[in-house]
Structure 1
Amino acid sequence: MVGQLTIQVLGELNVRQNGQLLPLPQSKKTRALLGYLAVIGRPQRRDHLCKMFWEIPDDPRASLRWSLHKLRPIVNTEGHECLHADHHSVFLTPQAVDLDFRGMASLRPADLHVLDTEALESLATTFRGEFLEGLCLPHCPSFEAWRLYHRDIALRLHMAILRALIRRLRDSPEQVHVHCLVLNRLTEEIADVDVPEQWSEPSISGTEPIPFSGAAPNQSHRLSRPGSGLVSRIFESDFPTPPLTSSKRSQEIRFCKTADRVTIAYAVCGHGSPIVRAAHWMSHLQYDWESPVWRHWIDALSEKTMLIRYDERGTGLSDWVAEDISFTAMIADLESVVDAAGLDRFTLLGVSQSCAVSVAYAVRHPERVSGLILYGGFVKGWRKRSDSHEVATHEAMTALIREGWGQNNPVFRHLFTAMFIPGGDQVQMHWFDELQRISVSPGNAGRLHEAFGEIDVSDVLSQVTVPTLVLHARKDAAVPFQCGREFATGIHGARFVDLDSANHVLLSNEPAFDQFVREVRRFVAETT
């Protein structure tokens, strides 16, 4: 096609017209927007793009208009209108763009076996660097998750192409050596990503061995349950510890075994009628105890009751090696802790994904649950909610988790922190950044995130017979507000409390937390 655009995203973003390199705007967000539209290849809602790249107090719609104004002279050239925008959507016509990533993404492993060596060499040279290199946007978590998801795809494909070439070029040691050097570098970059077994190859005769381990050597200690001594040393050297409010504050950590022989750690503190907090994502019994993010929750809930909380399998002080990390296993963990603690009847508190776990438990064991409290939860996981944009974002987040959670640099984990506690101060955000690294390995975090997407308790809501209190933060960015309302509408007689907060984890200095505590204490008094 005459005048067709060539857009390259496998490396730094490049745009060419008839082979001539075109200058791009200096704004990283504008360039990132162009790359995103080119790869997506279908109309995108304006409100979706505004949310992905801009935030309040900026004027997102004005910022989007400005970026589109900068992009039009680049992509709409020689009488061809490639970039279309109306009041509702924006679209970069894929037929008018020769995109390097498009052909790559359509490749399958079997294709590499039938392509000739020249074609494989051509494919290998297409990779000029990582996907959209240099366009990291730490303050745009949705875009960054999407970018890293595609970076993961591109890295894996590049490695597969290089391995295919190495097999073909066994009789050319010099060429093999060059490809092995590149492959070793890529392997180091993707060290925290689980490499599919079929991609692993034995070392080639006459070359240096190629490591294909799924974990970086210095991360090996994360494969087993960390001891509290190690955690304490890390805390003492790196983090400011807030002062204790009471010299009598203490907890007892215990362990129990599940039916499939997984060790679960649980903690007991306080006195009075028991309340069990079902395990939520990212918890660590010792770290949470000292954390300015969770400490006020623990103190408030244990002031007049006996609080039992536990780390789910794969996290915290529980076993990090667990074959089964499914919704069924999550319910079994709760059952094991309740039995080990010797509880006949108790209040059950679900937080985030453990709301669904708590509902399932209450349906199975109504005689043991005096009252059910559900905060910040969802009836259906992100995959079951069938929102295409949400599913795509969460799939991308899996790559983001694998990429960033194992690193000492918290920049990627901070994206999640900004979603969970956008109102946090510097100290709170610092602790939450580290909670992700300390509480779970990147691999387990990714597995759990996938498992949460498959949760669906919509069919059993009508079977809940115990008194139920549902609370949800109105502007929760991690779990949409309507997800909490779905519990309240599906459980007969449930009372719903709307909390004025944007934090998924309520912070100590906001009125919404005080309201949460008042509602919980009143509910416990009425049901025990």
Structure 2
Amino acid sequence: MTDMTVDDVLETGTVQVSDDIRLSYERRGSGTDIVLLNNFFVDRKSWRAYTGDLAAAARLTAYDLRGQGESTPLADEPVWEEHISDLKALFDGLGIEKAFLVGTSFSTLLCRDFAIAHPDRVHGLVLASPALSPYGPQRLRRLTKSWLHTLDTSGLAVLHDQVYPLVCSDRAVEEVGTAGFLGYKQNFLGIHTVESLRAGLLASTKAPLDPQTLTQVRQPTLLFVGGDDFSLSLDATERLTKLLPDATAVIVPHGGHAAFVEESEWFNREVLAFVRRVTGTDE
């Protein structure tokens, strides 16, 4: 099922990935394939605002995870490994032989696990503000469980208010002020339900977080990390880079956990340079 819109030559459709799950996707641009993986706090449409330069030089595919956005809602508790098999089915359904994977926060773990499971399908990884620790899983697990508790006891609006000052950098919070805060909140409430966000957060609690898993990633990897990221210190970033066999890190001095949004032009430049370097098409 595919239909075209005039805006940005956007191709939209769905792919059947299992008997009861269909994933909604969209594609823009042409050239080297880049697949964009949502974290559990955004949907596929969110990428449009900060990947314009990428779409001018590559073919971008974004999709809603199962239980998210316009993909099939989940009837049962999510299983982490199903997200990996879904991505494989999406590649096959859309005829993507090999692609770069771009993930943010918890979706960087999906990038990692897909690259390990299907190394022949991945050129390289871009891990933006990865939800990874070189020390172990306890901090991330406790954070996620606290967000689930807030969601279940107080709802989406309160969860947003809890997460917003963590995800956005100190500088960004000051620059956008109250108007920016309310704009982000309106968008957050517009793309989520309690059920869809709970499914995503529950799935993230099942993600493997053993730091040594990173040593199994053989593809070139680019880390794009904010210097003001609440979840990943500069020391931890350096340690992650050393765990990965072939990795480089770009540090955004004042960027937060959403540095790829706050500095989207910088992010686009780094990703394109990485793609060209890995594919041998440097200008």
Q: TM-score, normalised by structure 1?
A: 0.46
* Closer, same or farther: CA 351–283 of 1 in aligned 2, 3 Å: same
- Conserved in 2, the CA contact under 8 Å of 1:263 and 1:318? yes
- Given candidates 250, 255, 265, the residue that maps to 2:24 is 265
**Pairs within 5 Å for 1:350-429:** 350-379=103-132, 385-387=137-139, 392-406=142-156, 410-422=157-169, 423-424=172-173, 425=176, 426-429=178-181
Q: Give the drift of 1:309.
A: 0.8
- Conserved in 2, the CA contact under 8 Å of 1:360 and 1:457? no
Q: Output the aligned Cα RMSD.
A: 2.7
Give the match for residue 251 of structure 1: 10
Work out the CA distance in 1 between the residues paired with 2:181 and 2:204: 24
**Pairs within 5 Å for 1:130-145:** none
Q: Which stretches in structure 1 are left out of the alignment for 5+ residues?
A: 1-246, 289-293
Give the match for residue 89 of structure 2: 336
Q: Which stretches in structure 2 are left out of the alignment for 5+ residues?
A: 1-5
Q: Give the drift of 1:365.
A: 1.5
- Which amino acid is the alignment partner of residue 165 of structure 2? A
CA offset digits 1:309-364 (Å, max 9, x no partner): 11111111111224242221221222122122211121111211111111111112
- Conserved in 2, the CA contact under 8 Å of 1:283 and 1:435? no
- Given candidates 262, 267, 276, the residue that maps to 1:516 is 267
**Alignment length, in residue pairs?**
267
Give the match for residue 190 of structure 2: 438
Q: Does 1:453 align with 2:200?
A: no
* Closer, same or farther: CA 488–260 of 1 in aligned 2, 3 Å: farther
Work out the CA distance in 1 between the residues paired with 2:248 and 2:16: 35
- Conserved in 2, the CA contact under 8 Å of 1:264 and 1:317? yes
- Which amino acid is the alignment partner of residue 232 of structure 2? P
- Which amino acid is the alignment partner of residue 254 of structure 1? G
Q: Give the drift of 1:431.
A: 3.7
- Given candidates 273, 277, 285, the residue that maps to 2:36 is 277
Which of the pair has the greater relative contact order for Cα pairs under 8 Å at 6+ separation?
A: 2
Give the match for residue 3 of structure 2: none
SS of residue matched to 1:348: strand
Work out the CA distance in 1 between the residues paired with 2:105 and 2:159: 21
SS of residue matched to 1:252: strand
Give the match for residue 464 of structure 1: 217
**Pairs within 5 Å for 1:30-109:** none
- Conserved in 2, the CA contact under 8 Å of 1:405 and 1:437? no
Work out the CA distance in 1 between the residues paired with 2:166 and 2:112: 25
What's the % identity of the aligned pairs? 21
SS of residue matched to 1:337: helix
SS of residue matched to 2:265: helix
**Pairs within 5 Å for 1:2-17:** none
* Closer, same or farther: CA 412–371 of 1 in aligned 2, 3 Å: closer
**Pairs within 5 Å for 1:109-124:** none
* Closer, same or farther: CA 392–362 of 1 in aligned 2, 3 Å: closer
CA offset digits 1:282-322 (Å, max 9, x no partner): 22334x2xxxxx54323132121111011111111111224
SS of residue matched to 2:138: coil
SS of residue matched to 1:465: coil
Q: Give the structure with higher Rg (CA).
A: 1
Work out the CA distance in 1 between the residues paired with 2:106 and 2:119: 20
* Greater Cα shift, 451-460 or 369-378: 451-460
- Which amino acid is the alignment partner of residue 269 of structure 2? R
Give the match for residue 248 of structure 2: 495
- Conserved in 2, the CA contact under 8 Å of 1:381 and 1:452? no
* Closer, same or farther: CA 497–393 of 1 in aligned 2, 3 Å: closer
